[in-house]
Amino acid sequence: MLVPFFMGFQFISAYRVIKAENISVIHAHWIIPQGLTACFLRFFINHKLAIICTSHGGDLFSLRGNISKFIKRNVLLNTQAITVVNSIMAEEVYSLCYPFRPKVSVIPMGVDFKNTFSPSSDEKIPFSLIFVGRLVEKKGVSYLINALPIILNKFPNTHLTIIGTGPELEHLKNLVNKLKLNANVDFLGAVPNAELPKYYQQHQIAVFPFIIAENGDREGLPVVISEAIGCGCCSVTTNLPGIEDIIIHERSGLIVEQKNNLALADAIITLFSNPKLIHNYSSVAYDETILKQDSRSIAKNYANLIEALFDN
């Protein structure tokens, strides 16, 4: 019920900035509501405004009702440039807009590998796992917690750090209590972005057990994986469509079946049993990810996109 009020205030604030700064291009992150607000601004305020709309996944794959799909389709067909963060999402845009085929650019979110998310020369904590993200259904953290008892049978010193907050926090804490894992799991809550690198740098394996939620919501190309890779973590994640854009199974990390705590446990046990694999996967992932997602090259991609809008 708050969305209409949010959009109204968003419209007013954006209108003031557009008028004051003589804005020519709007970059709207998320199709709804920001993309819709941008379309309203173009229609009511300035028909010459160019709109770039970036989808991060949740907006594209959830909101599956007919009205929501109608709105998303019309937003996408009335923007001048569309970007998504992985190749699977581009196919979803084409499906949503059929029979029209708008131009879609696949541009992942950039990461500052030079100054922020970079490896440390300090030794990592042995048998350490980390998860970073909002604690909601699509993150799949309960499957990671349920995998821990299996891992602890083989490696009793395993420790999991969970950074983030959200509606599933209490449920996850109760699950930890139920499984008697309090000595092996720390909930740190929300941590400022500037402090995240030091936590990644301390941990051997970053685990992202993402799932497709009941309402269809899912991750696009989570920047947390790239941030963890930048800090030298080895990554374990799940087989969501598009995840191969960043992790290649048994080359730059491990990918397991989603909603499968046994598979998660097996992957983590495999890595703890073979420290060389942790080193090899993390090294390959770093070399490949820095080429694809360095913030400077991503900024250049967007600069080229904006220049093309002006040329047209």
pLDDT, tens digit, 9 for 90 and up, residues 225-237: 999 999 999 999 9
CB atoms within 10 A of CB 214: 9
pLDDT tens digits along 146-169: 999 999 999 999 999 999 999 999
Among 122, 120, 73, which residue's Cα sits nearest to residue 101?
A: 73
pLDDT at 221 over 90: no
How confident is the prediction for the chain on average, in pLDDT? 94
What is the per-residue pLDDT for 6?
84
- Residue 292's CB is within 10 A of a number of other CB atoms, namely 15
- Residue 137 confidence (pLDDT): 96
For 71, 177, 207, the CA distances from 180, given in Å and listed in that order, are 47, 5, 21
pLDDT digits (tens, 9 = 90+) for 230-288: 999 999 999 998 899 999 999 999 999 999 999 999 999 999 999 999 999 999 999 99
| Helix/strand/coil percentages in the chain, nearest 5 | 50, 15, 30
Other Cβ atoms within 10 Å of 194 Cβ, number: 8
pLDDT at 1: 59
Q: Is the pLDDT of residue 44 over 90?
A: no
The model's pLDDT over 95-118, given as tens digits with 9 standing for 90+, comes to 999 999 999 999 999 999 999 999
Q: Residue 309's pLDDT band (boundaries 50, 70, 90)? A: confident
| CA 238 distance to own-chain centroid | 13
For residue 237, what are the β-bridge partners? 208, 255
**Residue 311 has what pLDDT?**
76
CA distance 115 to 61: 33
**Collapsing DSSP states into helix, strand and coil, what is residue 63?**
coil
Q: Determine the pLDDT at residue 2.
A: 67
Q: Mean of the pLDDT values across residues 294-307?
A: 94
Domains, the chain, ordered by start: 3-109+294-311 (3.40.50.2000), 125-293 (3.40.50.2000)
